[in-house]
Amino acid sequence: MANNSEQQDVASLTAEQAKAEFLTLEARLQAADLAYHQADAPEISDAEYDSLKRRYRALAQAHPELEAVATQLDSVGAPAASGFGKISHAIRMLSLGNAFEDEDVADFDRSIRKYLGFGSGDSLAFTAEPKIDGLSLSLRYEHGKLIQAATRGDGSIGENVTANAMTIADIPHQLDGAPDVLEVRGEVYMSHEDFEALNARHTERGGKTFANPRNAAAGSLRQLDAEITRARPLRFFAYSWGELSEALAETQMDAIERLRGLGFQTNPLTRLCASVAEIISHYRSIEEQRATLGYDIDGVVYKVNDLALQGRLGFRSTTPRWAIAHKFPAELAWTRLEAIDIQVGRTGALSPVARLTPVTVGGVVVSNATLHNEDYILGRDSKGEEIRGGKDIRIGDWVQIYRAGDVIPKVADVDLSKRPDGAEPFAFPHTCPECSSPAVREEGDAIRRCSGGMICPAQAVERLKHFVSRAAFDIEGLGAKQVEQFHTDGWIKEPADIFDLQSNYGSGLQQLKNREGWGEKSADNLFAAIEEKRTIPLAKLIFALGMRHAGEVAGRDLALHYRDWTAMADAIDTARPAALAHRAADEAEEAERLKAADEGRRAKISDTRAAAVAVCEVPADAAAAWSDLVGVDGIGAVLGLSLSDAFSNPEERAAIDRLIGKLTIVAPDAPAADSPVAGKTVVFTGTLEKMTRAEAKARAEALGAKVSGSVSKKTDILVAGPGAGSKAKKAAELGIQTLDEDGWLELIAEA
């Protein structure tokens, strides 16, 4: 227990002061624990340890927000081998989009200009710097003091590696003249020389060696014993930042310069480039120096230099719009194709996988590669045109493997001169290898799919894996491996069964705690983790269902639009006749086009569509629900049809309904109450002159508005630029508030 005077003292600290001290204490306690329990080399006396712990507890007691995140309160000894504390990043650590060809870089420049509404004559400068092949780390400084270091983890939550980071010579513990809150981000890496020496030392001692410097750096940083990290020669380049109490500079280049001034290592090959041509020329120069740099890089990163523009450009779901990684060309190698296996995915897609005689490609041993689909094996692309000069791929062939960064290896080419005698063309199966249902290929689809749906065990298992994946239900202790096992044993056949696991296997004859690999504690933990996820945000639920084309972004868009499960399900059900009419019209249109092409005339598509829709006699409420559904920005007819099919498939719907009955579904956060457009449905039409469409949409959504593509009774505001046509007319008829661009900007300026 903390004594009274200590309690008074900690209570008088501001929340910020308390947090800073608390996190420092946490890191020191953690380091002391590790030194004591794992390295058997205590660093501080017992008395000093006790006094640190007392102070730590007192801070936690006085500041409940700290207690909630404390990792050292009841800790006995060092955390479990799997256990670094978790740290939630105040600002997510994102990854980068990739460019492979010069043309992709030109597209990057073009798309930024388009987003910003810049002409080709407007200047747009970029920084270009090596992409370090290590692992990213976020360092948090408060009042100049390093208080926390976290790995990227899944981007939102990383591992607390503070004690380890403190052993890296390139990472300053104290900064002079830094903002009060400064999160510095960069890459931990190991030089070639240090890597060779480390492996040599390990070989001498008969220990394991690392495959490459990146693995060595990751393995060294993620040591539970920080003293082991200290003995490893890790380095750090700073290239970015997270939370800041004040801006570092106005440009990327100046911000990097500021970090350098504060004592960080920044990459000396960072350049300011005024054009795509300059960028590419710097890329070539870095590529030429690559072999002699002394550390691994896998490309060059380009960032928009002006930080205000970076702010306007913002982020997609996992990558910034203002930066891109231009990767070095892929690595190639030749090997033998031993077999072609067919895997069945979540949506029934049959994917051919090449089983290869293992070969090293760019430092990594490759024994599997993707063959995409049946056309790819035959030597044709999705349009039926020849690839690889029309050469097909056969079992026994000598094939070229291509690997680019983290991209799944591909079979790129075939050496016909080495084809074994008697090699037969590959016969792609027309039945599912898992459930023997027919595998069908729809018109215009490159993929053959198992038609078994829920009866196909492969689809069921893949759906369950998707259901528990990180971006979906993310149930601690229930990963792909466990789900697969439970499915094999018949304990979990569909998502709803997860929520009955405790009632079915918590007691009685068959009990989870009696299974191999499970004990009382782990079983209880799993039941608790499942209970916790019984309450789930609507967007995650939609994504977790794994319906075709319904990814994370669609889940969010649908959740924001309908806000409620029942409302969404009712709308999709109501829209069914219109969805079917849409499909019939698509099919009629395709048939008419083919017939017309045969007869050498032009098809009158609009007539055909109209006729097909007329035959279907769509009720008005169905037509309205359908146009509302496909009018949700980012949804469209393909996804609309997929949702409609999933909801009207009786087995699938029953499984969904069983699941819904077990959940509490949380509506998306109520839009910020202080935003004048929160919760309003806004439609943009006509030409916008001060911002691009994409920017307007992103800003409106950030302020809690829903942006729709079409005007309906639900529309609250129409923003009409010059040239607005039918939408403005319809809005006027419906008496909807209409603003010009300036009016809109004025309205949101108050936010």
Q: How many other CB atoms sit within 10 Å of the CB of residue 734? A: 13
Give the integer Cα–Cα distance in Å for 634 and 555: 10
How many residues form the binding site for ligand IVH (CB under 6 A)?
14
Can you tell me the distance from the alpha carbon of 4 to that of 54, in angstroms, rounded to the nearest whole number? Answer: 12
Q: Which residues pair with 398 in a beta bridge?
A: 336
Please report whether residue 320 would count as binding ligand IVH according to CB under 6 A. Answer: yes
CA count, 13 A, side-chain hemisphere, 39 = 18
Torsion of CA 69, 72, 74, 76, to 10 degrees: 150
User: Per CB under 6 A, does 325 bind ligand IVH?
Assistant: yes
Hunting for tokens 């949506």 — which residue is that?
Answer: 347
Q: Is 286 in the site for ligand IVH (CB under 6 A)?
A: no
Residues counted in the chain: 751
From 128-136, 392-400, 498-506, 517-525, give the range in contact with ligand IVH by CB under 6 A: 128-136
* Position 21 contacts ligand IVH (CB under 6 A): no
- Residue 131 sits in the site that holds ligand IVH (CB under 6 A): yes
Q: To the nearest whole angstrom, how small is the minimum distance from the Cβ of residue 655 to ligand IVH? A: 37
Stretch that binds ligand IVH, among 76-84, 93-101, 425-433, 590-598 (CB under 6 A): 93-101
Query: Catalytic: which of 19, 53, 131, 680?
Result: 131
Dihedral of CA atoms 355, 361, 365, 368 in degrees, nearest 10, equals -20
Q: Is 136 in the site for ligand IVH (CB under 6 A)?
A: yes
Residue placing its CB nearer to ligand IVH in the complex, 297 or 747: 297
131 labelled catalytic: yes
What residue number has its CB nearest to ligand IVH?
Answer: 136
Identify the sign of the CA torsion 45, 51, 53, 55.
negative
Cα–Cα distance for residue pair 499/495, rounded to 1 Å: 8
The answer to the question of residue 128 lying near ligand IVH (CB under 6 A) is no
What does the block give as tokens for 615?
A: 């035959």
Contact set for ligand IVH, span 176-205 (CB under 6 A): 187
Q: How far is the CB of 480 from ligand IVH (least distance, A)?
A: 23
- Tokens 């087995």 correspond to 651
Pick the piece of the chain touching ligand IVH (CB under 6 A) from 91-99, 103-111, 331-339, 629-637: 91-99
| Residue 213 binds ligand IVH, judged by CB under 6 A | no
Contact flag: residue 137 with ligand IVH (CB under 6 A): no
**Interacting residues with ligand IVH between 231 and 250 (CB under 6 A):** 239-240
| Least Cβ distance, residue 132 to ligand IVH (angstroms) | 4
| Among positions 95, 203, 488, 535, the unique one binding ligand IVH when judged by CB under 6 A | 95
Which one of 273-281, 287-295, 319-327, 423-431 is the stretch in contact with ligand IVH (CB under 6 A)? 319-327
Hey, what are 301's tokens?
A: 């990163």
Residue environment code for 701-728, b if the CB has 16+ CB neighbours within 10 A, otherwise e:
bebbbbbbbbbbebbebbbbbeebeebb
Joined tokens for residue 709:
């593509």
Rounded to whole angstroms, how far apart are CA atoms 354 and 317? 32
Can you read off the two tokens belonging to residue 41?
Answer: 């080399």
Binding status of residue 696 toward ligand IVH by CB under 6 A: no
Shortest Å, Cβ 319 to ligand IVH: 7
Indicate the residue among 236 and 239 with the shorter CB distance to ligand IVH.
Answer: 239
DSSP state of 667: P
Least distance in angstroms from the C-beta of 315 to ligand IVH: 8
From 32, 112, 301, 639, residue interacting with ligand IVH (rule: CB under 6 A)? 301
Coil, strand or helix: which one is 86?
strand
158 binds ligand IVH (CB under 6 A): no
d(C-alpha 332, C-alpha 329), whole Å: 9
Stretch that binds ligand IVH, among 89-97, 374-382, 629-637, 713-721 (CB under 6 A): 89-97
Q: Which residues of 448-474 are buried (b: 16+ CB within 10 A; e: fewer)?
A: bbbebbeebbbbbbbbbbbbbbebbbb
- The answer to whether 323 contacts ligand IVH (rule: CB under 6 A) is yes
Q: Which residues are catalytic?
A: 131
Kindly list the residues in this chain that would bind ligand IVH in the complex (CB under 6 A).
94-96, 129, 131-132, 136, 187, 239-240, 301, 320, 323, 325
